Structure 1
């Protein structure tokens, strides 16, 4: 699903009622647990936390006019998605997450490269998302990004 919004609040206001609670709670968990320095905004039509141009002037390699994306979340047609770029770029973080996930959820992990899909709103692992959010600072993400993506 694509929502036209210029702010996260506007994005959430457009959601179906059954998704508002989950998306609002994910936003709250991220806001409370991400290390200082990430900025909240709409990026790629989704609520996102990014590394601003003030902190990383080169921006995102795919489109340098955009800030460096880190974590996004969205209400898609059949699921709520959490997109975490650090999981994609850091094999140790991916291993930690995939090992921890079954300890927090009844259902099997449904995951792409950076996308974790939640099809049942009553089985979103908010505590695990909080732990994941705390694992990487903006400077950690910049270092990993430069090492894995920007220098190639």
Structure 2
């Protein structure tokens, strides 16, 4: 489900009541742990953490008027999803996360290439998400994006 939100608070106000506090907590963890330079916004109908145009004027190659995406939080039909580009772009971070996850949750990880799906919203490993968010700086993300992802 995609929400038509214009702000983070607007997004959270549109989700089911049982998810509001969890989404606020997840946003707080991400904001607190992301290195300086990333900004919180709404992008593609999700809560997003991006590299703003003031730091990366070229923007996202698929849509240059959009800032460079890095991480997103989405309330979907069956889960709260956390998307983190570093899980896809940095194999060593992906492996670290997969290895650490069982230490923080009693449930099996439900994960795609860059997406972690939390179907049990009361079992989100906030501490692990915070540590993950600290692992990549804006400059590291731009460098890996330009060398591996951006179409030249």
TM-score (norm 1): 0.97
Q: Does 1:10 align with 2:10?
A: yes
Partner of 1:128: 128
CA RMSD of superposed structures (Å): 0.9
Quote the residue 2:84 is aligned against.
84
Work out the CA distance in 2 between the residues paired with 1:109 and 1:147: 29
Report the number of matched residues.
Answer: 152
- Please list, as runs of the form range in 1=range in 2, the aligned pairs for 1:104-115 lying within 5 A after superposition: 104-115=104-115
Offset of residue 8 of structure 1: 0.6
| Distance (whole Å) between structure 1 residues aligned to residue 62 and residue 88 of structure 2 | 16
| Residue 94 (structure 2) aligns with | 94
- Stretches of structure 2 that go unaligned for 5 or more consecutive residues are none
Distance in 2, matches of 1:122 and 1:52, equals 32
Runs of 4 or more above 2 Å deviation: none
Give the distance between the partners of 1:22 and 1:145, measured in 2 at CA: 30
* TM-score of the two chains, using structure 2 as the length reference: 0.97
Structure 1 gap segments, 5+ residues each: none
What is the CA distance between 1:84 and its match in structure 2?
0.3
CA distance in 1, matches of 2:45, 2:90: 25
What is the aligned partner in structure 2 of residue 65 from structure 1?
Answer: 65
Partner of 1:34: 34
Structure 2 partner of 1:139: 139
Q: State how far apart, in whole Å, the 1-side matches of 2:118 and 2:69 are.
A: 21
